[in-house]
C-alpha cells in the first residue's frame, strides 16, 4: 500500500515542471529603475498640478529651480533603490 503511494509521488516529481527561476535581463533592471524614477519624480513634482490648476484670476508662481533638482534627486534615489532591490531578489 505505501509502496504504490511513494511511486506515485516519485512519478509526479519527475513530471513536475522545473521551479521558475527569475531571469535577470537588461530590460528588467532598466524597467525597475525607470519605474522607480518616474514614481519618485512624480511624487515630488505632482504638487505642481495644484499650483497650475488655480483659477485664471490668480497669479501663478512657479517654484525655483532647486525644487526641480530636488524632484530629480528624489526620482534618482527611488529609482536606484528599486534597481538595488530588483537585483538582490532571487
> In the predicted model, is pLDDT for residue 69 greater than 60?
yes
What was the pLDDT predicted at 31? Answer: 86
Task: List pLDDT tens digits, range 5-40.
Answer: 555 554 555 555 555 555 556 567 888 889 899 999
The total number of structural domains that make up the chain = 1
For residues 70 and 40, the answer to whether their CB atoms sit within 8 Å is no
Cell of 15: 513530471
Residue 33 lies in a domain: yes
Residue 12 lies in a domain: no
**Whole-number average pLDDT of the chain:** 75
Cβ atoms < 10 Å from Cβ of 66 = 9
Distance CA 88, CA 90 (A): 6
C-alpha cell at 9: 509521488
Mean pLDDT on 51-79: 83
Nearest to 86 by CA among 38, 43, 33, 39: 33
Task: Identify the domain containing residue 76 by its residue range.
Answer: 23-88
Residue 77 pLDDT: 93
- The pTM of the full predicted model, rounded to 2 decimals, is 0.59
Amino acid at each position: 500500500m505505501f509502496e504504490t503511494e511513494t511511486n506515485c509521488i516519485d512519478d509526479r516529481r519527475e513530471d513536475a515542471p522545473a521551479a521558475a527561476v527569475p531571469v535577470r535581463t537588461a530590460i528588467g533592471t532598466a524597467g525597475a529603475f525607470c519605474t522607480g524614477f518616474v514614481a519618485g519624480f512624480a511624487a515630488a513634482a505632482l504638487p505642481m498640478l495644484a499650483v497650475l490648476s488655480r483659477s485664471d484670476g490668480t497669479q501663478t508662481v512657479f517654484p525655483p529651480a532647486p525644487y526641480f533638482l530636488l524632484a530629480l534627486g528624489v526620482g534618482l534615489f527611488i529609482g536606484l533603490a528599486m534597481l538595488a532591490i530588483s537585483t538582490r531578489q532571487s
